[in-house]
Structure 1
Amino acid sequence: MASRRSRRAPEYADVHRLDTFPKVLADNAKRFPQDIALREKDLGIWKEVTWAEYGLMVRLYALGLKDLGVERGQVIALLGANRPEWLWGEIAAHALGCASLGIYKDVLDDEADYLLAHSGAVAVIAEDEEQVDKLLTLAARVPSLRHIVYCDPRGLRKYSDPRLISQDDLKARGRALDARDPGLYEREVAAGHGDDVAVLCTTSGTTARPKLAMLQAGAFLRHCLDYLEADPRHPGDDYVSVLPLPWIMEQVYAVGQALIARGIVNFVEEEATTMADLREIGPRFVLLAPRVWEGIAADVRARMMDASPFKRAMFEIGMGLGKRALARNRRSWLAEALLFRALRDRLGFSFLTSAATGGAAMGPETFSFFHAMGVPLKQLYGQTELAGAYVIHRAGDIDPETVGLPFAKSAVRIDNPDAEGVGEILGRDQGLFAGYFGAGDATAIDDLRDGWLHTGDAGFLKKENGHLVVIDRVKDLAVMSNGVRFSPQFIENKLKFSAFIAEAVILGRDRPYLAAIICIRWSILAKWAEQRAISFTGYSSLAARPEVYALLRAEVERVNASLPAAQRVRKFLLLYKELDPDDGELTRTRKVRRGVVAEKYAKEITALYQGDDAVDIDTHITFQDGTTARIQTRLKVETLISADENGPIASKAAE
C-alpha cells in the first residue's frame, strides 16, 4: 500500500483555532471527506473508513450518549482492544464535554473496580462479551455506572441487564436525536474549549495504584503539534496501532497526531497477526514498546536457528558488515544486498520513515541491531503528566546511548548533579497535566515545582551533543554493601538482548554482589529444545533443564564480559514462570515492580545470597481464566563467579 501513495508536504491542523479533538475531526471531515482516516482488518479484509464516515460515527455515538442522559463534565470509560469503535467513543465523549478514561483490556476485576469507582464513570464502551462480563460483576461496587455500550453483539443477545445497550441501538438513538434537533451536535462541539479536561490517563503505577492524570484538550493538541515539528508526518502516512490505547503514547500517535496530520490509523485483526498485518500495510510510522522490539530481534535470531548453513553464514556476514558500517555512521551496500533489504521487507519495515520506542529503556545492543538493519529507530522519553514524550532523537542525529533532544517548546535539566553530572531529570512541556483526578490541581503536586516536573528518573546531559541520557529510576539506583554503585535497568537491558531471555531482575542493593532472577523466552527456547530432542512438559520443566541453564550461563557470561568487574552478575536462577502484569509483578507497560518481586520471591532471593545450591518451590499460580495450577520444582542457583575469584567482592578492595 505504501509504495502506491504520493507524498504530500506536511500539513497540520490549526490547533490554536481547533482546540479540541472533535473540532479537528469536524474540520477534517468537512475539508477531506473522502480521504482515508482508518483501516481495520476483519476476516482477512482491510475495511476503510473515510474522514466523513469517521465524523459521522462520532456524531452518532455522541448524540446517542446524550440521549441516554450523559452530561457535560462526566467520565466515559473505554475497555477493549484497539478498534475504530474506541476512537469513535473517545472523541464522542469529548464532543459532549466529558473526559475519556481508557482501561487496559486485560485489566483484572480489582483494577477495573478501582478505576471506574474512582473516576465515577457513568458509561463504558466495551468491546465484547468478555469485557461486558467483567463489568457486570462490578455492579454493586460501581454505583455510578449506568450504561454499558457493547460493540460486538456475539454472545450478548440473551443478556437482560438494563444497563446494556448495543452500539447499533446507541447509533439509532443518535440518529433519532439528530433528526429532532439537527444542530445539537454542532452546538455541543462548539461549547468545548481547549481548557477542558479531555483525557484521564493512567500513570504507570510502579509502586502503587495508578493515578489518573488530567490532560486538557488544547494543551494535548499543542504538544502533539510540537512533536510533529520534531518528527514530521505527512497526510496519508500509515500508522499501525499496536500498543494499548490507554497508554499515553498511543493516545499521541493514534488520536492526537493522526487528527492533526491526517494520518491513516490501521488496526490489526488480532495480536497474533500483528507482524503479517504490518507487512501488508507497510507503514511509514510505527511505535513499539522496547519489549516488542526485543522480541522481534530475538525472533530474527531464532529463525536463523532453523535456516540452512548458507543462510546463517549470509546473516552473520551481513550483520557484521552492517554493524561495522554503522560504527562509521555509514551504510553497507553489500549488507543491504545480502540481507537487510529482504529482512526489512519480511518484517514490514520497507517504507518506514520513522520508528520509535518508549515507555521503558532499551539497551544499546537492541537499538544498534535495528539501525544496522536500516530501520530509522528513535528513542523517546517522557511522562504521562507531560502528555507523553517530549524528548526524541532527530533524523541524522541518533545516539544509541541517549534518548535525544527536547522538542522546541520543551526543556529538560538535571537537578542536583553529582561530580559526574548525574542527577534527577526535570522536565517542562506545554502539555503539562492539570493535576490528578480527585486530588486537586497540579499546583498541589509535590513533584511539580515552578513548572518543572520532577520525574524521579536519574540521568545526565551528554557533553558532546547535549542529548539526554536516562540511567534508571532514582529510587532504583542502588549501592552494594561494598560501596559499588549500579543501575539494575542498565544490566537488565543488556541481558534482554539475548534471544533466550524474556525478562530479568537484577538484585544487589545492600548485598555483597549482584545476582539475577531470569525468565526464559518460552517461544524460542521451546523451539531450541525441540531441535535438540530435549524433553519438557511446560515452562517450569523447561526452565529447570540443565541444558537450558548451560545455555543461559553462556548468555550471562557474555554480558558480564561487557561490564566492569564490580558490576558483573555473580549468581542467577531461572524462574519457574514469566513475570506477569496480572500478578502485579509488572506494570501494564511492562516495567518491573521491584517491591512486589522482592516480596513475592523472597525465598528465591535468599537462596541466591546465603550460599544454597538450589531452592525447592511448592506454590500455586493463577491463570488469566481463573484456573490454578500447583508448581513443584527445584530451582538451581547457578554460580558464575566464586567468592575467591576477582569478582564483585574483591574488586572493591582492589580499588
Structure 2
Amino acid sequence: MDTLPKLLLANAQKWGHRRPAIREKEYGIWQTQSWAAYAENVRDLALGLAALGFQRGDKLAIMGVNRPEMYWAMLAAQSLGGVPVPLFHDALPAEVQHLLDHCEAKIVLAETQEQVDKVLAVREGLPKLERLIYDDPRGMRKYTDPILIALAKVQEMGRQFREQQPHYFERQVEATRPDDVAIISYRYDMAGVARGVMLTHRNLLANVENVLQVDALRPNDELMAFLPIAWLDDTFWSLAVALKVGCTINIPEEPDTLPRDLREIGPTSLVAPPRVWENLLAIIRVRVEDADIVKKSLYNYFLGLAQRMEEQRSAGRSPSLLQSLLYKIGDFLVYAPIKDHLGIRRLRFAYSGYAGGLLAPEIFSYFRALGVNLKQSYGLPEAATIVTVHRDGDVRSDTVGKPLPGVEVTISPEGEVLVRSEGVFQGYYRDPEATAAARSDGWLRTGDAGEFTEAGHLFILDRLAHVAKLADGSTFAPLWVESRLKYSPYIREAVAVGAGRPHVAALIVIDSENVARWAERQGLGHLAPEELVRHEAVQRLVHEEVRRVNQGLAASTRVQRFVILPRDWRPGDEEVTRSGQVRRDVVLKKYASLIEALYTDAASAELVTSVTYEDGRKAELRTQVSLITVQAPEEIGVAG
C-alpha cells in the first residue's frame, strides 16, 4: 500500500468493525469509531466533495481542532488526488486570508462558527474559494450565504453520488500514486513568514518505515492525537503512522483535559513537544509542594536515588544490587503513582519532539529516572518530521540521538546540519526561491548548528544564525541557556541575549498559573498576572531560579541581569510561532530598548509594547518593569 487512502481501505477490509481506529472524547464519554466506519465516513465525504466539483490537484483547507471529521477530510481530499491544507483554528483573519489565498483553496472545511466567521470576513480576497463547509452548526441558524454547506449535507450528497457511480471512490483511491502531494503544511520561519511544505505519500511513508525500524508499533497500541492538526507531526503520527500500523488514535475532549484524558487512556506511545513535558513536570512539582512532610521526604529520597541510577546508566555503569532493590521499593511508593497520575505508566516509548526547542537535559533525565522510556528526537517538516532519535540502551540527555535508518546527516563546513533522505520534501508551494535556498547539492539545509559526538549522536547547539560571540570572544548559544531556564516550573519562556555584549542577560516570561499557586501558598493572596510580575517576592523567586540555573552554566554564559515581562507571549503578538518557537528576531526588535536598559545600571525601565486581540484590533501598553541583577540572595537589586 503506497498511499494513505489505500492503507485506510486495506485496514477497513482487514479489521472491519472489530478494531477501533479512532476514539474521541465528547461530553465526558469516549466514542469509538471502527476502521470500517472510518473508511465509510471518508468515502461519503470524498464523494460529496466530488459532487461539489473537487478534482485532482485541488486544495481543501481545513480549520479546526483534533476531531475525527478533520482526519476524514484530509483522507477524502487525498482519495480524489487533491491536497489537504490544515491550518490553525485560532489564526487571525488576516492570516487566514493570506494562507487561503496562497494555497489557492477551492473548498474550506471550518469546524465551528468562529472559523466560518473568519473566512466570511475575508472572502472578497479569496477569488478561488467556491465552497465553505461547516461541521458544528451552533450559532449559524440565520446564516444564509450560498457558499455555506453543512458537512452532514456534503456526506449525504456523497451517498447519493455513490448510488449513481458505485465504484467511483474505489477507482479514485486506486488512481492515487506515491508521488502525489499528500499535504501542504505551513511552517513559520523565525521571521514569521509562512511557507507551504509539500510532502508526498512517498515522503511520509518512507519516514514512517524509518521510525518503525527503531521503535516498532503494533495494531493494539494506543496513540494520543492532541498536537494541532496544522503541525505536520500530527499528520505524521495520527494519520501516516496510525494507518501504516493500524493502531488506535485517541482524541482528547479539549486541550485543557489532556492530563485527565491521558490517565483514562494510558497510551502506549506518546510524542509531545518540550512544552508538554515541562507542563507534566510542573504538575508533579506543584503536587509535591502541596504534600505533607512524610510524602515529600519519600519523594525527595527516592527521586535522588532514581536520578543517581540514571546518571550511572548514562555513563555505562550498572546499578548495585542494593540500588536495584531500593528502586523497586521506590517504584511502588513513588514512581508508579506519579506515572499513574500523569497517565504515562503504560508507555513503551515516548519522544520529545524538537518543535518549540530542545527539552532541557534536567527535565529529560527526570522522566528517564522515573522509568519513562523518553527519547529526544530531532527533525523538521521539510524532512517529514523526524531525522534523529535515541535508541534503546543508548540515550544521552544532551543529544538528539542518531540518524534514523535511511536518513543521512552531515555537518557543513559552516557547522550547519544537512539532511538527505527519501522523506525530504518536494519544495515550498509557490516559492521556488525559498525552495532553492533550502537545498545544497542534494542536501536539505536545516538552518541548525550542530555537531556529532564521538558516539555518533547529534548535538544541536542552536539555530546557526543565533550562535554568536560575547565581547570577550566566548561562544554564546542562546538556546542552551534558555532551555535550562525553562526547566523551572515558574519560567514559561526565556530569551537570552549577549551577542557582542560583556555578559548574558535574559527576558523572562513567568508561568502565571504556577507562580499564582506558589503565591497563594506563601500567603500572598490571589494576584492578577500583572501584579505577580511586580511583586517583590515573585521577583525574588525568579531570581533564585536564575541563580540555580547559573550554577550549571559556564561562567561566561551565566545570566547576569534579567527582566520579567508583564504578560505571556502569544502567536497573535508575533513573539512566538504557531508551533511555539520563539521568533528571536522579532523579540530582539520589539524589546530592543529594554535590552539596552539591561546593559546599564538602571533599576527599572518603561516597556512599550503592542498587543493584537483575537479580532485583529491592536493596542499599545506602557508598563514600568524592574531590571534585576543576579547577586547573592541578600543583595538582590529589585526596584519598583
What is the TM-score of this pair, normalised by structure 1?
A: 0.92
Q: Which residue of 2 aligns with 1:250?
A: 234
Q: Which moved more, 1:623-632 or 1:69-78?
A: 623-632
Question: Any unmatched runs of 5+ in structure 1?
Answer: 1-17, 418-422, 646-655
1:261 alignment partner, one of 245, 261, 267: 245
Identity level (%)? 38
Change (3 A) 1:449 1:618: closer
Aligned counterpart, 1:460: 451
User: For this pair of structures, how many residues does the alignment match?
Assistant: 619
Equivalent residue number for residue 598 of structure 2:
608
Q: Contact 1:99–1:200 (CA<8 Å) still a contact in 2?
A: yes
Asked whether the equivalents of residues 403 and 468 of structure 1 are also in contact (C-alpha less than 8 Å), the reply is yes
Aligned to 1:362: 359
- 1:210: Cα distance to partner? 1.5
Are 1:426 and 2:410 matched, yes or no? Answer: no
- Say whether 1:448 aligns with 2:439: yes
Verify: 1:402 aligned to 2:394, yes or no: no
Equivalent in 370, 375, 380 of residue 383 of structure 1:
380
| C-alpha separation in 1, matches of 2:118 and 2:617 | 16
Q: Deviations over 1:222-254 (max 9, x none)?
A: 221221111110002100111112211111110
Contact 2:469 2:500 in 1 (8 A): yes
Amino acid at match of 1:267: I
Q: Distance in 1 between matches of 2:555 and 2:142?
A: 65
**Could you tell me how far 1:446 is from its partner in structure 2?**
2.4
- Map of 2:14 onto structure 1: 31
Deviation readout 1:118-161 (Å, 9 max, x if unpaired): 01001111111111111111111111111111111111222111
**Alpha-carbon shift at residue 69 of structure 1 (Å):** 0.8
| Contact 1:434/1:441 (8 A) holds in 2 | no
Q: In the TM superposition, what is the alpha-carbon distance from 1:401 to its structure 2 partner?
A: 1.1
Q: Which among 574, 579, 584 is matched to residue 569 of structure 2?
A: 579
The answer to whether residue 291 in structure 2 is matched with residue 307 in structure 1 is yes
How far has the Cα of 1:628 moved from its partner?
7.0
Q: Which one of the candidate residues 546, 553, 560 is aligned to 1:556?
A: 546
Partners of 2:609 and 2:5 in 1: CA distance: 51
- State the distance in 1 between where 2:391 and 2:68 align: 31
Which residue matches 2:278?
Answer: 294
Number of the residue aligned with 1:337: 332
Matching residue of 2:115: 131
1:502 counterpart residue number: 492
Preserved CA contact (<8 Å) 1:99 1:199:
yes
Measured after TM superposition, the shift of residue 208 of structure 1 is 3.5
CA–CA distance in structure 2, aligned partners of residues 293 and 624 of structure 1: 28
Which residue number in structure 2 is paired with residue 481 of structure 1?
Answer: 471
Which residue in the other structure is 1:106 paired with? 90
2:165 and 2:433 mapped to 1: Cα distance? 36
Q: Following the alignment from structure 1 to structure 2, what is the Cα–Cα distance between the partners of residues 470 and 32?
A: 42
Pick from 22, 47, 52 the counterpart of residue 31 of structure 2: 47
- What is the CA distance between 1:431 and its match in structure 2? 1.0
Residue type of the alignment partner of 2:375 = K
Q: Is the 8 A contact 2:382 2:425 kept in 1?
A: yes
Q: Secondary structure at the match of 2:95?
A: helix
TM-score when normalising by structure 2: 0.94
Checking the alignment, whether the CA contact within 8 Å between 1:74 and 1:99 is kept in structure 2 is: yes
* Contact 1:536/1:542, CA 8 A, preserved across alignment: no
1:227/1:390 contact within 8 Å kept = no
2:188 maps to 1:193 = no
Superposition CA RMSD, Å: 1.7
More displaced stretch, 382-391 vs 330-339: 330-339
For residue 90 of structure 1, the aligned residue among 62, 67, 74 is 74
Answer whether contact 1:540 1:633 (CA < 8 A) is retained: no
Question: 1:513 and 2:500 equivalent?
Answer: no
CA contact (8 A) 1:104 1:246 kept: yes
Map Cα deviations across residues 76-117 of structure 1 (whole Å, 9 max, x no partner). Answer: 111110110111000000011111111011211122111110
Aligned partner of residue 221 in structure 1, secondary structure: helix
The answer as to 2:133 corresponding to 1:142 is no
Structure 2 CA distance, aligned partners of 1:363 and 1:618?
31
Which of 506, 522, 525 aligns to 1:532? It is 522
Match of residue 493 from structure 1: 483
Whole-angstrom distance in 2 between the partners of 1:631 and 1:440: 40
- Which structure 2 segments of 5+ residues have no match? 314-318, 636-640
Instruction: List per-residue Cα deviations over 1:603-649 (Å, max 9, x = no partner).
Output: 2112101221101245553443567777553211111259xx9xxxx
Which residue matches 1:393? Answer: 390
Partner AA of 1:350 in structure 2: R
Q: Which residue of 2 aligns with 1:12?
A: none
The match for 1:349 among 344, 347, 368 is 344
Quote the Cα distance in structure 2 between the aligned partners of 1:441 and 1:92.
31
CA contact (8 A) 1:243 1:288 kept: yes
For residues 94 and 210 of structure 1, what CA distance do their matches in structure 2 show?
A: 23
Alpha-carbon deviation of 1:204? 3.3
The answer for the alignment partner of 1:11 in structure 2 is none
| Cα distance between partner residues in 2 of 1:566 and 1:254 | 44
Q: Tell me, what secondary structure is at the counterpart of 1:225?
A: helix
Once the two structures are superposed, what CA deviation does each residue of 1:428-473 show, in whole Å capped at 9, x if it has no partner?
A: 111111111113499x61221232111111111110x211111100
Equivalent residues in 2 for 1:87-236, closer than 5 Å: 87-236=71-220
Measure, in 2, the Cα distance between the counterparts of 1:101 and 1:260: 21
Give the aligned residue type for 2:108.
V
Q: What does residue 316 of structure 2 align with?
A: none
Q: Secondary structure at the match of 1:92?
A: helix
Aligned equivalent of 1:541: 531
Superposition map of 1:587-598 within 5 A: 587-598=577-588
Q: Do the aligned residues in 1 keep the contact of 2:62 with 2:109 (CA within 8 Å)?
A: yes
Report if aligned partners of 1:482, 1:512 keep a CA contact under 8 Å in 2.
Answer: yes
- The residue type equivalent to 1:492 in the other structure is E
